[in-house]
Amino acid sequence: MTRLEILHVSNHVLCVVKPACVPTVPDDSGDPSMFDLAKAWIGEEFGKPGAVFLGVVHRLDRPVSGVLAFARTSKGAARLTQAFHDRAARKTYVAVTSAAPDGGPEGEVRQWLVKRGSKNVVRAVPEGTEGARLAVTRYRVLAADGPRRLVRLEPVTGRPHQLRVAMASLGAPLMGDLKYGAETPLTDRSIALHAMALEVPHPTAPEPVRVHAAAPAGLGLPWRAFDAALAEPGVGLE
């Protein structure tokens, strides 16, 4: 069994690090998912030979790495799901873009997004388009390396692919993101988007769950050029 990197475990919550290119939940590929791996880990760690409950409360795209939270109880699942729905969960991502964003070193992107076709592609469309949903993304450039930029991203809303579309719309597609304008793939077929930090109300305790996952450090990946900036305080949750 693949060894999970555990960030937090309590009676109601489990937070782990999702490697890039591993699906959050089972899909048509048949590859082991984080859902499967987490259930197996709980069964082994806590000696549960029977069925293990695990609730999916949010997801990360397959090529994205970083913090992923699950619920260990039905009460936890209901309350965490509500927290994400109510925008009470705060998520912080870092990304490496192939160019500087057209909108300047920091700003907010407001777009109406809709999924088009059968290839799981999301497009920005005019307000009022049938099926479109508002997506709001805040960004700030943290460092530069030639044309590339390390960018901190905070999704105010939680729409599919919203961070990827937001950066592409600013002329700064994420490195490796061929679906949204990148010219070349990364060596591991990931995209340079990492869920670095998560803060969410605990289902039963007064103190929130607050977790942080360091960016991938693999050779050939664009994160290596930004080691110093990624180590600065405030890159994750401020």
Q: Distance between CA 145 and CA 5 in Å, rounded?
A: 30
For residues 163, 135, 80, 63, the Cα torsion angle rounded to the nearest 10 degrees is: -20
- Determine if residue 215 is left, alpha or beta; phi over 0 gives left, psi from -120 to 50 gives alpha, anything else beta: beta
Q: Distance between CA 151 and CA 154 in Å, rounded?
A: 10
Q: Distance between CA 155 and CA 167 in Å, rounded?
A: 12
| CA 168-199-17 angle, 5° bins | 70
From 31, 36, 61, 177, active-site residue: 61
Amino acid at site 71:
A
Does residue 61 have an active-site annotation? yes
Nearest Cα residue to 167 out of 129, 197, 142, 138: 138
Would you state the structure tokens that stand for residue 167, as one six-digit string?
């950066």
Amino acid at site 32:
P
Which residues are designated catalytic? 61
